[in-house]
A and B are shown apart, each in its own frame.
Chain A
């Protein structure tokens, strides 16, 4: 329970800071609207030339896109700011302040930052998702919805583990910023179901950057095409990655010398 209490505490703190800058909320709303609007226009354009893309209808692809935007909001609200802070603190030797606190270091560095206005993307993603679901031919039953929720949580955790693994790299390579750019680019592949990509790329966005588990698998749950072997694979991969991340973080910490603080 302790990690959650800690997370909640930092969430409250971060919200208070951000609430001072309310104008940023409206800017974020505009930005999210432009982003979601563009995504929908792109989709309309694609489906003006075809009725299905590799077996996915327009409504089903809206579901994929909604999840991609929603999860992107989660990443930018919480995961990315936290990881960027770790990278910066490693470089500047300030990580000591987190390490000396009587809490689990991994938990602490993962919850310190929150950008609440970016939650607007979570909302706009949810709206696109709902719009997609309303257009589905087959209705979504309770089982699908529960499976979707569970797979989304697993997916978000997998993405978090991926980020922390990359961030831990900062103990060896100082300049990890360009990796963020790399992720931002690759994350765009999640707008479409990974099954449309050629084999080498599908492997890449499944196991190297776990976009398939984070976006396509939850989307498969909503569109009732998820089979249990995929669920087992996602759970197995997620668990393994989680364990590896935990070990990798502690391994990286041993490299940290906190030279300049």
Chain B
């Protein structure tokens, strides 16, 4: 019993320390983070301008979504997108091709913990740097956003849920590189699927019905559409809680699957390179 408590506490210590060092190193590269963030902004701004243009042509809204709501959706999108930055499959490819995983395997802790804590530690810094960006977007695009306290609380948890779902999803994809180190086309395919089925491109109601039906069975929308909509939309308390529940379901399911694949994958590891 005592040993278990000790293990939990040392894991907690690990996350806190790893997160804190990441915060410090992230602050050193403020300029790089900003360049990245501005580059990232182009994507939602393009979507926002396109849908605003269409809404204006049709008298102010598309399928009931007004220009102000589109603005709110895509501004919150930028925060959710920042939360969704995780260790990518391309990172896994590099890690395996260059033999970087060897050192990580020597540690008495699963490499996933390091990814989770490291990228988690980035988030507070990224959110801090995001605030002025959001302020500029707010002035430029005039969003309509009036969340309730409950929506705010759910949103806070939902963005971390999104972070976990996407970490597990990307790790799972990344682990394909244990079998072959040339999978960039497969990654692109998955990223295209995510773009279309997650709400990253447009709010889900704008997608054709059949696409929404497919999306209901996939994890994508729980890391984009749900967190955004929890703050921007008018979801009922029940819908909000159901959404968090779905996030938990996908986190558990994908973590289980990731660990399952990892078991086979790590046996394949032969440190190409070093």
**A residues bordering B, Cβ < 8 Å?**
23, 27, 30-31, 34-35, 37-38, 41-42, 45-46, 48-50, 52-54, 175, 177-179, 181-189, 191-192, 196-198, 200-201
Structural contact, B49 and A196, CB atoms closer than 8 A: yes
| A187→B46 CA distance, assembly (Å) | 11
Of B36, B38, B62, which one neighbours A49 at CB under 8 angstroms? B62
Give bound CA distance, A38 to B42, whole Å: 17
Complex CA–CA separation, A177 to B33 (angstroms): 11
- Closest partner residue, chain A, to B57 (CB atom): A50
**A175–B58 Cα gap in the complex (Å)?**
46
Query: Is B246 positioned at the interface, with any CB of A under 8 Å from its CB?
Result: no
Given known A-B contacts A45-B201, A49-B206, A196-B53, A182 and B192 have beta carbons under 8 A apart:
no
Partner of B49, one of A31, A48, A198: A198
A38, B192: Cβ atoms closer than 8 Å: yes
Contact residue among B35, B46, B185 (Cβ-Cβ distance under 8 Å from A30): B185
Q: In angstroms, how far is the closest chain A Cβ from the Cβ of B181? A: 11
Least distance between B46 CB and chain A CB atoms (Å): 6
Contacts of B208 in A (CB 8 A): 45, 48
Residues of chain A within 8 A of B201, CB atoms compared:
42, 45
Q: Would you give 26 A-B contacts (Cβ < 8 Å), ordered by A?
A: A31-B184, A31-B185, A34-B185, A34-B192, A38-B192, A41-B196, A42-B196, A42-B201, A45-B201, A46-B54, A48-B208, A49-B63, A53-B50, A53-B54, A54-B53, A178-B35, A179-B35, A181-B39, A182-B35, A182-B39, A185-B43, A186-B42, A189-B46, A196-B49, A196-B53, A197-B49
A131 to B192, CA, bound (A): 22
Q: Which residues from chain A contact B49 at a C-beta distance below 8 Å?
A: 192, 196-198, 201
B113 interface residue (CB < 8 Å to A) = no
Q: Which of these, B32, B38, B57, B207, contacts A175 with CB under 8 Å?
A: B32
Partner among B40, B45, B188 whose Cβ is within 8 Å of the Cβ of A35: B188
Residues of B within 8 A of A45 (CB): 201-202, 206-208
Chain A residue nearest to B208 in the complex (CB): A48
How close is A21's CB to chain B, nearest CB, in angstroms? 10
Which of B39, B40, B50, B192 is in CB contact (< 8 Å) with A192?
A: B50
Taking residues whose C-beta sits less than 8 angstroms from the other chain, chain B's interface range is 20 to 34
CB-CB under 8 A from A41, the residues of chain B are: 196
Q: Is the CB–CB distance between A198 and B202 below 8 Å?
A: no
Residues 82-140 of B contacting A (Cβ, < 8 Å): 140
Interface of A (DSSP majority class): helix
CB distance from A188 to the nearest CB of B (A): 5
| Chain B residues within 8 Å of A196, by CB | 49-50, 53
Determine which of A37, A46, A177, A184 lies in contact with B50 in the assembled complex, contact meaning CB atoms within 8 Å. A46
Q: Is the CB of A38 within 8 A of B50?
A: no
> Smallest CB–CB gap between A203 and chain B, Å?
13
Complex interface bits, B173-195 against A, C-beta within 8 A gives 1, otherwise 0: 00000000010110011001001
Nearest Cβ on chain B to A145's Cβ, whole angstroms:
28
Closest B-chain residue to A188, C-beta based?
A: B42
| B8 contacts chain A at the CB level, 8 A cutoff | no
- B residues within 8 A CB of A179? 35
Residue of A nearest to B31 (CB): A178
B253 to chain A, nearest CB (A): 26
Within the complex, which residue of B53, B62, B196, B202 is in contact with A38, where a contact is CB–CB below 8 Å? Answer: B196
A53–B39 alpha-carbon span in the complex (Å): 24
- The A-contacting residues of B in range 1-53, CB under 8 angstroms, are 31-32, 35-36, 38-43, 45-46, 49-50, 53
Interface centre among B38, B50, B57, B184 (most CB of A within 10 A): B50
CB within 8 A of B39: which of A27, A37, A184? Answer: A184
CA distance A201 to B40 in the complex (A): 15
Rounded to whole angstroms, the CA-CA distance of A200 and B140 in the bound complex is 10
Residues of B within 8 A of A46 (CB): 50, 54
Q: How far is the CA of A130 from the CA of B45 in the complex (A)?
A: 28
Q: What distance in Å separates the Cβ of A172 from its nearest Cβ neighbour in chain B?
A: 13
- The complex places the Cα of A179 from the Cα of B34 at a distance, in Å, of 10
